[in-house]
Amino acid sequence: MPKLKTNKTAAKRVKKITASGKILRRKILAQHLVHRKSSRTIEQSGQTLEFSKSDSKKIKRLVPYGVKNGKS
């Protein structure tokens, strides 16, 4: 069976894949135009969340070998 290609855009959105199989992502709004955002919004945007079950099935297909180096 040939090697599978990793979808690079999907891999950039994945923060970590846990040992139990959960796929974690960062919350949005962290980077762009930060000076306009409240400190509460900026603080909460650094949190990690789990992908929904339907999305995690798609992500597992797009990122077959997991994520290297725990990129964010």
What CATH number belongs to 8-62? 4.10.410.60
Q: Which helix (H) or strand (E) holds 24?
A: strand 23-26
Q: What is the pTM of this model?
A: 0.72
User: What pLDDT is recorded for position 42?
Assistant: 85
Show me where the domains of the chain are located. Answer: 8-62
pLDDT tens for 24-58 read 998 887 778 888 989 888 888 888 999 999 999 99
